[in-house]
Amino acid sequence: MSKMIRLSLGPILYFWPREQVLSFYEQVAESPVDIVYLGETVCSKRNLLRTDDWLEIAARLRGAGKEVVLSTLALLEAESELKRLRRICANEGYWVEANDMGAVQLLQGRPFVAGHSINIYNVKSLSLLAEVGMRRWVLPLELSERALTDLQDGRPQGVETEVFVYGRLPLAYSARCFTARAHHLPKDDCQYRCLDYPDGLTLATQDGARFLALNGIQTQSSQTCNLLGQLNVMRRLGVDVVRISPQSANNHRVVEIFRRCIDGELGLDAGSEELARLMPVGPCDGYWHGEAGMKQTADSARELLGS
């Protein structure tokens, strides 16, 4: 019998006020997720919580029975960022999620998670990282079910697979802060404008289609990736963990829907219908089906079936 898929909550990708973060994780402690990824992964200027604060939240969540992983910055540019990274990587208590090869270098020889911004496109890469200590990897966002099938076939022993199944997709990182740019501010004097956009700042095309969400130096999809309907396929492929990426509103309802679907208390169609009401700009699932990431394939299939 296959193991039960575990549910994880990714790191908060946005800049929320300290109180909001603390109360968010108070709720997470009570929520039915199994694994929580903690820490700042986007911008080192977002400093309302320090490493010690994150460690305190980590202890609280572990006390509530959660597995905690400390997540790290994806784009490392300054020595100060490396310094913080070294401290996180040297911690004794928790696994660390590497989001850059610099973190992999520091984590060699100890168990770690390779996040979705580590480029793992083939079995050779998977095996090489397993050799240096990787115990879990997150499927790169642009890869499909077919690519995952191939990777699962050659997956080394003792390595778990995680898939990003719900949330706005992080698509790119830059030296430039696009939120500051939208306010005609230089990054060095950004006035922490990201605080005004708890789910990112919407970028639309000139013909009015909501297209992307600007999140500081990160660019996200404005559509919410939703792969709830693929849970059975993932179970069959031996996926160990599915990840929900936090949003400021309705996060705990999303977690609950996934939990009930995983536990078989709620059908996938009914769950998808409930989720559809919780997405700010609608769903997308194209990457999973080997198409443009912004496409929504499941819905169009349903329309064809006339249901």
Partner 1 sequence: MMELVCPAGNLPSLKAAVDNGADAVYLGFKDDTNARHFAGLNFGPAKMSEGIAYARNKGTKVFLALNTYPQSGGWPRWRSAVDGAADLGVDALIAADLGVMDYVAERYPALNLHLSVQGSATNYEALRFYRERFSVRRAVLPRVLSLPQVQHLVANSPVEIEVFGFGSLCVMVEGRCILSSYVTGQSPNTFGACSPASHVEWKDGRNGLETRLGGVLIETYGEGCNAGYPTLCKGSFCVGGNTYHALEEPTSLNTLEILPQLQQAGVSAIKIEGRQRSPAYVSQVTRVWRAALDLCASSPASFAPRPEWKAVLDRVSEGTQTTLGAYSRPWQ
Which residues make up the interface to partner 1 (CB under 8 A)?
A: 74-79, 81-82, 85, 100-106, 108, 117, 119-125, 128-129, 141-143, 147, 150-151, 153-154, 169, 171-178, 181-182, 186-188, 201-209, 211-212, 214, 219, 221, 286-287, 290-294
Q: Which one, 213 or 234, has the nearer CB to partner 1?
A: 213
Q: Which one, 167 or 286, has the nearer CB to partner 1?
A: 286
Q: Which one, 106 or 254, has the nearer CB to partner 1?
A: 106
Q: Which one, 82 or 268, has the nearer CB to partner 1?
A: 82
Q: Which one, 23 or 122, has the nearer CB to partner 1?
A: 122
How far is 252 from 243, CA to CA, in rounded Å? 13
Q: Tell me the closest approach of the beta carbon of residue 223 to partner 1, in angstroms.
A: 9
Q: Nearest CA to 237 among 165, 171, 296, 170?
A: 165
Q: Tell me the closest approach of the beta carbon of residue 191 to partner 1, in angstroms.
A: 15
Q: Tell me the closest approach of the beta carbon of residue 13 to partner 1, in angstroms.
A: 15
Place of tokens 């006339």: 306
Q: Tell me the closest approach of the beta carbon of residue 57 to partner 1, in angstroms.
A: 26
Contact 281, 247 (CB under 8 A): no
Element (H, E) at 275: helix 268-276
C-alpha separations of 19 from 22, 23, 49, 214, 303 in Å = 5, 6, 10, 23, 43
CA angle 216, 219, 222 (to 5 degrees): 115
Q: Tell me the closest approach of the beta carbon of residue 64 to partner 1, in angstroms.
A: 33
Contact 247, 199 (CB under 8 A): yes
